[in-house]
Structure 1
Amino acid sequence: MRQWLVSLIVAFQFLTRLPIPVLVEYDKRYVSRSVLFYPVVGFVIGSILYLASLALPPGAAPLHAAVLLLLWTLLTGGLHLDGLMDTADGLGSHRPRELMLAIMKDSRVGAMGVLAAFFVLLIKWASLWTLLDRVEQGTLSGSLLLTLLLTVPAVSRGAMVAAIIRRPYIGGEQGMGGLFRDAHAGYLAGALLLLLFPFILRPSFGWLGLFGVQAAAAWLFVRHCVRRLGGLTGDTYGALNELAETAGLLAAVYISF
């Protein structure tokens, strides 16, 4: 039981900036097992965003969307955005594989990275604005907004688990991703079961559609990375999370629940 608790703490400390003042050991055993709890991290992030939306007064959906997006980014410390920008710089360079990997390791951000972050944040902000406006207009219930905010960050992190376990890691032993090599399919199965929580909370075909869109976006991106790079790195894991979240928010706007 203690090992599972430590793994849960590792998941939150690694993926968020939530203040958890517990010193734990980051070895392969705990880090690999922590992937099981990635959807739980997504649920907590979504719950915090929903509670924040309740605290905001009605009548300023664009501003509220920006506040929620800022909070969302602060909760993760921009970890995944950083990976997105590095990945965009590398893949967008259209250089040979080794040069792309070298560009991704460079701490400097190029034009492709800036553009990727800009458009991802823009789509997220506009999607949140639309959803919050629908809540104010009464066409979207608060309970459905909660379901959406629970689902989107949880499924994106579930996609990270699938990528970690099912696709080769090429970031090297010194990268943080090397600690995940002991993760196995049982953890993925557990993570997928946890993802069913929002569906159990509010069963609908719309939720299945939302899940399908995020899963498809994640699969296409991972397939592209494996074809171009030969595998995945820590940066591509972060990019995967951002793109799956963006696809999920965009789908939430257009899918009928």
Structure 2
Amino acid sequence: MTGLLIAISFLTRLPVPTVNSEKAGNIALAAPWLPVVGAIVGVLVAAAVVLTAGTGIWVGALVGLLVWVLVTGALHLDGLGDVADGLGAAHGNPERFIAVARDPHLGSFGAIAIVLQLLAKLVLLAAVTERLGLNGLIPALVLIAAWARWGTLVLGCAVKPLAEGMASRLAAGIELRVVVLEGVVLSALTAYLAPVLLIALPLTAGLALYWRVRLGGITGDCHGASIEIMETALLFVLLFG
């Protein structure tokens, strides 16, 4: 279970038992467990919405969004902001992108991207809750969060790391057969619970193609941004399914 504990401590702010110090920083061990951690995040967000939606759909959506941000430690939002700054300044130059994305200061592109992402999730959470009801919302959020992190594994297989860092360390632990198996399991569950979310498969392929064409590779920030984009896109798709 070491890999699961590492995955939880890496992707969330949830407390976990102490991991062997020799393995604690080995992100590669966490790779197979990313979709499972996503499902955990989805359960917690759904629980927050369900427990507070009785006071109003918008209140439930706001609390759900707060839990989404707090549980993940805004890790993926940070990646989205860095990517927005990097793409805005790089003009297609991968080296310039890496330099800007690694700058700890948040620029105007990053700030705008984060604000728009939070607004989009808030509005979509409220709209999806109204459309699906609380019973339909729970499996949908669990699947959305799991698919978004499964996509990280696909990107790790399909797109080479741009530089040494989180993306390269994670890629070392990704096995294609595990990715395929998890994709089959997720697809089966999705076909039964929320078939419209199967669009996650072509969306993931589209993200992989985008990073290959736009930058020729991927970084840890790109992974975080992709998770945020996938979650928002799947919430949006639920409104029409």
What is the TM-score with the length of structure 2 in the denominator?
0.90
1:25-71 C-alpha deviation (Å, 9 max, x unpaired): 46599532422211111111111122222321524211221111010
Spell out the pairing of 1:218-257 with structure 2 (5 A cutoff): 218-255=204-241
**Shift in CA distance, 131/13, structure 1 to aligned 2, threshold 3 Å:** same
Number of residue pairs matched by the alignment: 239
Q: Partner residue of 1:111?
A: 108
C-alpha distance in structure 1 between counterparts of 2:69 and 2:22, whole Å: 24
- What is the CA-CA distance between 1:231 and the residue it aligns to? 0.4
User: Contact (CA 8 Å) 1:218, 1:243: kept in 2 or not?
Assistant: no
Distance in 1, Cα, partners of 2:163 & 2:84: 16
Equivalent of residue 167 in structure 1, options 134, 159, 176: 159
Are the counterparts in 2 of residues 37 and 191 from structure 1 also a CA contact under 8 Å?
no
| Contact 1:169/1:178 (<8 A) preserved | yes
SS in 2 for 1:107: coil
Separation (CA, whole Å) in 1 of partners of 2:114 and 2:185: 29
1:192 aligns with 2:192: no
CA distance in 2, matches of 1:129, 1:57: 9
Q: State the Cα distance separating 1:118 from its structure 2 match.
A: 1.5
Q: Which residue of 2 aligns with 1:76?
A: 72
How far apart, in 2, do the equivalents of 1:228 and 1:27 lie?
34
Counterpart selection for 1:127 from 104, 124, 127: 124
Query: Which residue of structure 2 lines up, in the alignment, with residue 63 of structure 1?
Result: 59
Measured against aligned partners, the alpha-carbon deviations of 1:74-113 in whole angstroms (never above 9, x if no partner) come to: 1100110111111111112243322122111111111111
Cα deviation digits, residues 135-165 of structure 1 (max 9, x gap):
xxxxx34332111111110000010111112
Gaps of 5+ in 2: none
* Residues 76, 228 of structure 2: 8 Å contact kept: yes
- Contact between 1:87 and 1:236, CA under 8 Å: does it hold in 2? yes
What secondary structure does 1:93 align onto? helix
Amino acid at match of 1:178: S
What CA RMSD, in Å, does the superposition of the two structures yield over aligned residues? 2.2
Q: TM-score, normalised by structure 1?
A: 0.85
Q: Kindly tell me: are residues 233 and 27 of structure 1, through their superposed partners in 2, closer, same or farther at Cα, counting changes over 3 Å?
A: farther
Q: Which residue of 2 aligns with 1:137?
A: none
Mapping 1:6-25, distance limit 5 Å:
6-25=2-21
Which amino acid in 1 is paired with 2:75?
L
Q: Distance in 1 between matches of 2:227 and 2:22?
A: 22
Percentage identity across paired residues of the two chains: 29
Contact kept in structure 2, 1:36 and 1:190, CA below 8 Å: no
